[in-house]
Amino acid sequence: MCSLALFPPLTSGQTTLCESNNELLSGSTNTEDPLKQDLIPLSLNFPRESLKLHSRTESSSKAAFLDHSETLWMRSAAAWRDGGLSGLLNEITTSHAEVPKWLSVTSGCILALLRWASSFHGSLFPHVTLSSEDMIAEFSQVLNWPDCVVRAFAWHPHTDKFAVALLDDSIKIYNPKSAITPTLKHRLQKNIAAVQWKPLCASALAVACQNCLLVWHVDPCSLSTRPSSGCAQVLSRPGHSPITSIAWSPSGSLLLSASPMDTAMMVWDVAAESCVPLQRVGGGGVTFLSWSPDGSHVLASTPSALFRVWETRMWTCERWPCIKGRCQSGCWSPDGSRLLFTVQGEMVIYALTFTGTPGLPTSSIKGPQAAVVVADLSETTFKTPDGDIIVGGEIQSVSWDPRGERLAVLLKGDPQAANRPAVIAVFKTRASPIFELLPSGFVQGEPGTEPRLMQFHPNFRHGALLTVCWSSGRITHVPFYFLSSSLPHVGLSGSPPLPHPQERHADFSSQLFTELIS
Amino acid sequence: MMFSTETSCWFIRKVICWRATASIAWSVLLLPPTTAVFVILSRFSLFHPFQTISECLSLLMSASSVFSLILLGGVIIMAGFLTLEYYTVIPTIACSKIALLGQLLHPRQFINSLAHCLMGIIVGWCCAITIGCRYEMLGYPCKNSDGYPQMCVNEYHLIILLAGAFVGFSHSLLGVIHNINYISFQTVQQYKYFRFKGSLPLVVMCSATQAFYSIKNYVVLYFFLGYIPRAWICKTLNLHLDSSIHPLDSIAGLLDLSLLYHLWISATFLLFTWYITLLLFRIFVTEVYTFPVQSSFTEDSHQCLPKVITEKQPMILKFLALQDLALLSQHSPSRRSEVFSLSQPGGHPHNWNAISKECLALLADLTQRLVAYHETVATNGRAKTLSNGSERKISSETSSTEDMMSPRPTFLMKTPTSVFARSVGRSSQSPLTIPFTPDLDSPFASPALRRLAAAPEQGSPWHGSVQSPHVMRKAPKLWSTSTADSLFNGSPEPTPASVPSPKKEATKPSFLVQFLQNRKEQLPEASSQALFADSQAHIWALEGLSYLVQASFTEDQFGVVQTTLPSILSSMLLLQEAVDRHFKLPHASSKPVRSTSTMGDSTYKTLRFALRATLKTALYRITTTFGDHLKAVEMSAEHRKRLQQFLEYKE
């Protein structure tokens, strides 16, 4: 089993640039270097000051108007519209001077009963008492989501474009092949928790928002920088909000959405705008979804110490109760046979192995009997010139590169303690003869910045490319150059060209992901 | 032909009938718990909860309730049979208001409504017996003004019976409007129990809301017309009216909260049992049926997928076969390998050939239908109208309703499950290449479509003929100005026919004719829906083909797919072009309004969007799998250009 003690030591004050010859190279951070800025066209920076944030919430405009007494009917209608049944009951109870006594007493009783029931529900599932934003922050894969400038990030599964969701509820789409960066804004696009591109499609982007699910259709040939909100499909269902996680099926036909408030997860047929709820007893909601790359399984974690693995042929599920806490994050191996997941409150990575060929009837797929611990990420102290730095602890998210060779783990750290930063630990993974994780190194950003969000590029040809969004609002790409063991090596001599930064610079200077090594 | 009817008989007899029977059996089994809940809800009293429950228990054990349970079971079986008789996998979409009226007045529908009325009365009677108290008997002894004993009519009993009849009738009418007989297939496969469990809340909500609206209408109707059935009953059964109590068709009589509640709960119970029957039928019938890809026995060969998929006759068989194809291509490597295999003596890929040929024929059929439709509609999205359209005599009322649904899929008229044309193996009109109204003499057929169905005579420029005043009046409202111009500029090739004769101008169409013309006008979105009414089959064909082609990249040992790849790509690209053109029509991309609380399945309204998305995904699936290898595939320059767009992810 791998642990952090085996990792190469942290280098203080240096930014990780790339992996080459099996080791992570880092360089001094000199962001003012104009040459370097040119070479990394997709390293974006979103300074917090540049975003126009909503200074006021909409409800606060009420204070600017004079109080106007309306009739009871009007107020009741408004209360029904704004607050539903409990709002209406509350309105009737408070205006007891105008309504018959029996009505106000009855509604008061019903209201008390409702409150008692909801507090009971809240004691069973504490997360239902959270506000929408707190809930997204709690269950998001992004570290410290409320404070993040970049709230969500998604590479297109087939091309080199990506979407970035920002703190000001806008989404920008960057494409290296075009100078146009469309900005997507929509009235309902608030508190974006996740974005994902539809596979086998050039244009569709699903956005998980606070109250609904939006599916944008951004025409890649369009010259418009502000696609109208008519390009977005709004998918919503009462009770299914806030949405914290979405997952497209790898075949591009279905979209899953999950909300911690809704015990059912929704399977959307986006074109027909219809959905099928999949509901099972227990859990109290669904927080995180991950569809295996071969499309055969879906991981669905719940706010309580329980997660489910759905099989996608007949949509049956296996229950996996955890001992300590809820399943925080998870990722699948490229062939869909292995699931790595982490549990809140534990500092280890578990693995589940699904044997059996996908596609056979479900009865023949033998599920695993127990999860195995594959890595221990408990706290380890590294000595640096600046003092001791403690790395390790709870895990925010895990991500596996599409070839199954590198595993990136985002460690939470402790925001209060200066010497316990959040870092990304990268493992090499090996499937044969036995599955194991080998230490690779830490990915560090500029001094004073923390990683918030990470994602691997879905089809990087020279190895793996990890995109990291930092707390400063910067997005950088860290390439891992290696030759995949699973792919046949091209070339007559059989010896692969050694990954050498300078050479590569010459070769791929027109490419996107070149880093200059100082 | 003989062979095909035999096969269909096999499938209907062995599969569909058993599934229907199982669904009816389950709905009958669910009846006792439903009735128990109904009894508790109808007799519940807030102040004596325990007394109510003990009363309910004793009531449920009594002979009368057992008898009414048997009656209700009979009603359920009847409802199940009606569902089996009337179900359809391709919805009948009325393209104009008058066509909808025609559907509602059709004799077949009339029988359906009548049956539902009767069943409603029976359920109403059972409800009256179960609720008991003042509802129990139709007659009761009373004294007339002179003090003589006589039998009086119990209006409470009567009102529940009539409510049952009314709710049954309105259920059957609403069923036509909401296409309740249409059965859609799920995008997600689930076991029957989970599907049932997932749909149960919807059924409860639907029946409660539907019952509320029906009872609202019924109460209004009874207020105005309630005296007619009451007088009739009194007369036929020689009963009298009790003058000492208020008649119910008055405001005071109807504002009885307990009466209204009982009416509503009875109607909810009635609709719930029927909806459950319908739901179970839908779940059982649409369950996946696994056809063998090939069989080692020749006598079973007609049950194999390649054979079954080409069948036209029971539409449900074709749909289930296509569904199975889509699933096997996606999930089952072993069955895929059977599709790609070669025949043992001879070495021909018969399985693949039969399957791909049928799928391509389906796609080509849709393409042709779309092209033909696009040629008939004007740019404003409505069917072009001919001058003589408004002057047609609306004399023959007895026309086949076949043509009311225009335009229609080619095999819609052949399906036995379509509402009006149910006769297995009935010789249908010769398969039209043009999907529009075959019956040209019908007054309901739109003239433009009629012309399309007639052989296209190049000599007579029909667009040059004079436009009806109706169209002239409409012209400024059109979306596109160019059509308006062409209307007034006249025809580009003047012929004698195009000269407007003053006599024609003088004969203004009568009000009735104009009114009917208005109603007859195509609803643009409905015609677009009708065009894609059977597109679930095309969606499966596209999915099946694209997954098989994707799998062939690694699994096809003999290269059988390679030979068909050019035609698959070209037919998909042709369809893509036709679909793109269709969506440029103004009405085609407008989203239908979602109706949430009906049991009618509105999937057919969005099938065209689903087809468009599936088509694009299917093309991307092939281009992503094959990549640059596709450059070696022979195809026209235009298609190559289009394919390049897909390879570059620019579509």
Token couple for A511: 């490419």
| Least confident among A320-329, B362-371, B432-441 | B432-441
Question: B328 lies in which domain range?
Answer: 298-381+522-648
Q: Would an 8 Å CB–CB cutoff place A229 in contact with chain B?
A: no
- pLDDT reported for residue B7: 52
Residue numbers in A near B610 (CB within 8 A): 269, 271-272
Q: Please say if the pLDDT value at position A40 is more than 70.
A: no
A96/B522: higher pLDDT: A96
As a whole number of angstroms, the distance between CA B195 and CA B191 comes to 6
Q: Please say if the pLDDT value at position A462 is more than 80.
A: yes
Q: Please say if the pLDDT value at position A266 is more than 70.
A: yes
Q: Please say if the pLDDT value at position A502 is more than 60.
A: no
- pLDDT reported for residue B407: 44
pLDDT (tens digit per residue) in B51-87: 778 888 888 788 888 899 999 999 999 999 999 999 9
Q: Please say if the pLDDT value at position B387 is more than 50.
A: no
My answer on whether B303 and B279 are in the same domain is: no
Contact A163, A153 (CB under 8 A): yes
Tell me the count of A-B CB pairs closer than 8 A: 86
Residue numbers in B near A274 (CB within 8 A): 187, 603, 606
Q: Please say if the pLDDT value at position B630 is more than 80.
A: yes
Give, as one character, the DSSP assignment of residue B384.
P
A112 vs A84, A108, A117, CA distance in Å? 15, 6, 9
- A25: helix, coil or strand? strand
My answer on whether B268 and B316 are in the same domain is: no
My answer on whether B280 and B314 are in the same domain is: no
Taking Cα atoms as reference points, which of B540, B188, B286, B551 lies closest to residue A311? B188
My answer on whether A464 and A421 are in the same domain is: yes
My answer on whether A242 and A308 are in the same domain is: yes
Q: Please say if the pLDDT value at position A300 is more than 80.
A: yes
B142/A374: higher pLDDT: A374
As a whole number of angstroms, the distance between CA A173 and CA A182 comes to 5
Residue numbers in B near A315 (CB within 8 A): 188-190, 194
- B355: helix, coil or strand? helix
* CB-closest option in B332, B609, B620 to A200: B620
For testing contact with chain A, the best of B46, B187, B189 (most A CBs within 10 A): B187
Q: What is the mean pLDDT of chain A?
A: 83
Q: Please say if the pLDDT value at position A311 is more than 80.
A: yes
My answer on whether A334 and A447 are in the same domain is: yes
My answer on whether B317 and B225 are in the same domain is: no
My answer on whether A193 and A156 are in the same domain is: yes
Dihedral sign computed on CA atoms, order B35, B39, B42, B47: negative
Question: A125 lies in which domain range?
Answer: 74-130
My answer on whether B113 and B241 are in the same domain is: yes
Sequence-distant (≥ 6) Cβ neighbours of residue B545 within 8 angstroms = B329, B356, B359, B360, B568, B572, B618
Domain's final residue, options B263, B286, B309: B286
Distance from CA of B619 to the nearest CA of A (A): 9
Q: Locate all alpha helices (DSSP H) within A99-157, ordered by sequence.
A: 101-124, 132-139
pLDDT (tens digit per residue) in B558-575: 999 999 999 999 999 999
Taking Cα atoms as reference points, which of B196, B105, B149 lies closest to residue B420? B105
Distance from CA of B30 to the nearest CA of A (A): 22
My answer on whether B158 and B270 are in the same domain is: yes
B376/B194: higher pLDDT: B194
Q: What is the pTM of this model?
A: 0.83
- pLDDT reported for residue B588: 83
Interface list for A 299-328 with B (CB within 8 A): 313-316
My answer on whether A196 and A186 are in the same domain is: yes
Residue numbers in B near A251 (CB within 8 A): 330, 617, 621
B523/A444: higher pLDDT: A444
Taking Cα atoms as reference points, which of A203, A367, A358 lies closest to residue A292? A358
As a whole number of angstroms, the distance between CA B609 and CA B528 comes to 11
Token couple for A30: 């000199």
Token couple for A368: 């695993």
Contact A466, A482 (CB under 8 A): no
Q: Average pLDDT, stretch B155-160?
A: 91
As a whole number of angstroms, the distance between CA B278 and CA A418 comes to 65
My answer on whether A126 and A190 are in the same domain is: no
Q: Average pLDDT, stretch B353-363?
A: 95
pLDDT (tens digit per residue) in A347-404: 999 999 887 554 444 444 455 678 889 999 999 998 888 788 899 899 999 999 999 9
H or E segment to which residue B2 belongs: helix B2-11
Q: Please say if the pLDDT value at position A198 is more than 90.
A: yes
B interface residues, A as partner, C-beta within 8 Å: 186-191, 194, 197-198, 330-334, 543, 591, 594, 603, 606-607, 609-610, 612-614, 616-617, 620-621, 624, 649-651
Q: Average pLDDT, stretch A334-338?
A: 90
Domain's final residue, options B286, B312, B332: B286
A411 inside domain:
yes
* CB-closest option in B543, B613, B650 to A202: B650
Q: What percent of chain A has pLDDT over 90?
A: 46
How does residue A64 score in pLDDT terms, banded at 50, 70 and 90? Answer: low
The 3-state secondary structure of B69-83 reads HHHHHHHHHHHHHHH
A516 inside domain:
no
How many domains does chain B contain in total?
A: 2
Tell me the one-letter amino acid at B192.
K
- pLDDT reported for residue B651: 80
Dihedral sign computed on CA atoms, order B120, B123, B127, B129: positive
Residue numbers in B near A201 (CB within 8 A): 613, 616-617, 620
Q: Would an 8 Å CB–CB cutoff place A228 in contact with chain B?
A: no
- pLDDT reported for residue A387: 83
Residue with tokens 């707390």: A471
ipTM of the complex model = 0.86
My answer on whether B177 and B260 are in the same domain is: yes
DSSP readout, A239-261?
T--S--EEEE-TTSS-EEEE-TT
Nearest residue of A to residue B607, measured between CA atoms: A272
Q: What percent of chain B has pLDDT over 70?
A: 76
My answer on whether A160 and A215 are in the same domain is: yes
Q: Average pLDDT, stretch A78-90?
A: 79
As a whole number of angstroms, the distance between CA A465 and CA A454 comes to 10
- pLDDT reported for residue A366: 52
My answer on whether B259 and B337 are in the same domain is: no
